Structure 1
Amino acid sequence: MDQHAPTTWITICDTCKREGWDAASGATDGERLAALIETEAEGRRVRTRRVSCLMGCQQGCNVAVQAAGKLNYTLGRFEVSEETARGIVDWAELHAESASGQVPYRTWPQAVKGHFVTRHPPLPEAE
């Protein structure tokens, strides 16, 4: 990967609660998924951060994959699992390798298929 390429970030909603979440369990589903994604991303070419609320509550669990100058994506409706975390990080690495942020469907990990909620064009570089 080009060391001058913009950093791809996985932004994880740590307040997401899936239907049926039990408050007695302690951590939210978003916190549990965030911990798995952070572990999976260690030593890889993407960075992670947590935010409290991506405002996609009916789509939870939610993450955003973003980099300056590239297409940015929101993904949701995830179960909390190691497979999910691996698929998100694997896809984010493909995003990092892409000049535009667009990743060919044939290369998508199975764990992210059917989980894309929105795609945002990059912000303009000048007014």
Structure 2
Amino acid sequence: MSFVGAKLILTQGENLLTCLRDDVDWIPFPDHWDLPGGKAEDGETPLECALRELDEEFGLRLAPERLSGQIIPSATRPGRQSWLFLGKLTETEIASIRFGDEGQEWRMMPISEFIAHPRAVPHFRDAVAQVLGL
């Protein structure tokens, strides 16, 4: 496996799909607002990882061509790489979200709120600002 995992910046208008991480001490950044995505499974491509995680976490299935991706340094595994994908959601897709069993809740959070939120995962707060040019 040449990468650690993949995350997604999924927007609809001025809002961003986010989830509140579980509040347990054995995960990085417990009880913080996070982006969809997670660790790669053996043999997955970055895009396959992102799409699988999105389906598991939110019940959403997007066509691969709706996402554009870039390599980013892994914040949790220094010296390794992760992927960050960007895409847009429709109101219909948001209404169809079925939250999985990871995390406490999900929100379409205003992008400006996520970037400034004291409990947003810091490296993803910065990545959202950078990728969206804010």
TM-score, length basis structure 2:
0.33
Q: In terms of Rg, which structure is larger?
A: 1
Higher helix share: 1
TM-score, length basis structure 1:
0.34
Q: Which has the higher contact order (CA 8 A, sep 6+)?
A: 2
Higher strand share: 2
